[in-house]
Amino acid sequence: MNGLARLGVSIREGLRRHGHLAAVASAVLRLSVSPRRWPRTVRAILARQILFTGFEALRLVALVAVVMGVAVVLQTQVWLTKFGQSAFIGPILVAVIIRELGPLLVNFVVIGRSGTAISSELSSMRVAGEIRVLDSMGLDPLATLVLPRCIGVAVSVFCLAVLFVAVSFVSGYLAGLLLGANVGTPGLFADSVLRAIRPADIVNLSAKTLLPGVLTGAICCIEGLGVRGALTEIPQAASRGVVRSVAALFVVSILVSLLTYA
């Protein structure tokens, strides 16, 4: 009976946590459709979040994209060219880079950089009593703190994923030329990729970047704002935010792939 009781408590706590996350995410999406009503402070926080999450991560994402482009694109082209199946280069590149690898790696980078920063920042504000000050001033923490961070993370992930795909393809093609692989002309290479891209791939890329971005921002904000007031809870909140964001990323990626391509 004790085991069943603990199982029931765990299930109930999990449902409560997921329900809270769904409520926060839906509230963020509802507020995001009317940006004209955002106060100036929200716009300033959103700009800073995009600057930190998107712009300052450009070098790291570009470096990862170059490595993946050389490792995946080049090896795929060399293998297919060796067996005389160059017509399948585009579909394989789209399947590996655009459909799966790009969104996953970019989300990992953003979760590692910005997820921990968001949880740590908000938990520090909670411990210092700044959240109570915002409440006393009549400012809604959801609109002031959570909304700009969720939207900023989602927009940054989408833009970084597009950059990742472009840099991966270009770096892979250039590496193939330098190593003497039969990659064809730039026009033929671009044509094989563009022909393989379907409308479902655009939907897939958008869903796997925007949805996990919003969830990452919401999860990390919830963990940061959920501390009780002890300094020792700050690293714990950051760790929980990262772990749960990664779990949400995997769940969303699987569901989007099933709904898009199954």
Q: Give tens-digit pLDDT for 91-144.
A: 777 788 888 889 999 999 999 999 999 999 999 988 888 888 887 887 788 888
Would the CA dihedral through 83, 85, 90, 94 be positive or negative? Answer: negative
CB atoms within 10 A of CB 237: 24
Predicted confidence (pLDDT) at residue 62 exceeds the cutoff of 60: yes
Q: Which of 68, 76, 71, 81 is nearest to 93 (CA)?
A: 76
Least confident among 81-85, 192-196, 238-242: 81-85
Query: How does DSSP classify residue 54?
Result: T
Q: What pLDDT does residue 131 have?
A: 83
Q: Which region, left, alpha or beta, applies to residue 227 given φ > 0 means left and ψ of -120 to 50 means alpha?
A: beta
For residue 179, what are the domain limits?
53-261
Q: What pLDDT does residue 21 have?
A: 85
Say if CB 184 and CB 80 are below 8 A apart. no
Residue 251 lies in a domain: yes
Average pLDDT over residues 72-83: 64
CA distance 150 to 167: 26
The alpha helices in 33-146, defined as continuous H runs, are 40-53, 58-68, 75-82, 89-93, 102-110, 116-128, 130-136, 141
Residue 232 lies in a domain: yes
Q: Which two tokens stand for residue 140?
A: 């809604």
Residue 45 lies in a domain: no
Query: How does DSSP classify residue 55?
Result: G
User: Looking at per-residue confidence, does 171 or 217 come out higher?
Assistant: 217
Q: What is the pLDDT of residues 190-221, one digit of tens each?
A: 887 888 888 888 999 999 999 999 999 999 99
Q: Specify the 3-state DSSP secondary structure of 177.
A: helix
Average pLDDT over residues 237-257: 93
Q: What pLDDT does residue 30 have?
A: 87
CA distance 133 to 145: 13
Residue 20 lies in a domain: no
Residue 125 lies in a domain: yes
Say if CB 219 and CB 21 are below 8 A apart. yes
Residue with tokens 């250039």: 174
Predicted confidence (pLDDT) at residue 146 exceeds the cutoff of 60: yes
Predicted confidence (pLDDT) at residue 82 exceeds the cutoff of 60: no
How many helices (H) and strands (E) the chain has is answered by 13, 0
For residue 139, report the phi and psi dihedrals to the nearest 5 degrees.
Answer: -95, 135
Residue 21 lies in a domain: no
**Number of compact structural domains in the chain:** 1
Q: What pLDDT does residue 39 have?
A: 81
Residue 39 lies in a domain: no
Q: What pLDDT does residue 178 have?
A: 77
What does each C-alpha distance from 173 to 98, 99, 100, 169 come to in angstroms? 16, 19, 19, 6
Q: What pLDDT does residue 154 have?
A: 95
Residue 36 lies in a domain: no
User: Looking at per-residue confidence, does 127 or 229 come out higher?
Assistant: 127
CA distance 171 to 181: 13
Predicted confidence (pLDDT) at residue 78 exceeds the cutoff of 70: no
Say if CB 224 and CB 118 are below 8 A apart. yes
Q: What is the pLDDT of residues 25-51, one digit of tens each?
A: 888 888 888 877 788 888 899 999 999
User: Structure pTM?
Assistant: 0.89
Q: What pLDDT does residue 197 have?
A: 86
Q: How confident is the model at residue 81 (pLDDT cuts 50, 70, 90)?
A: low
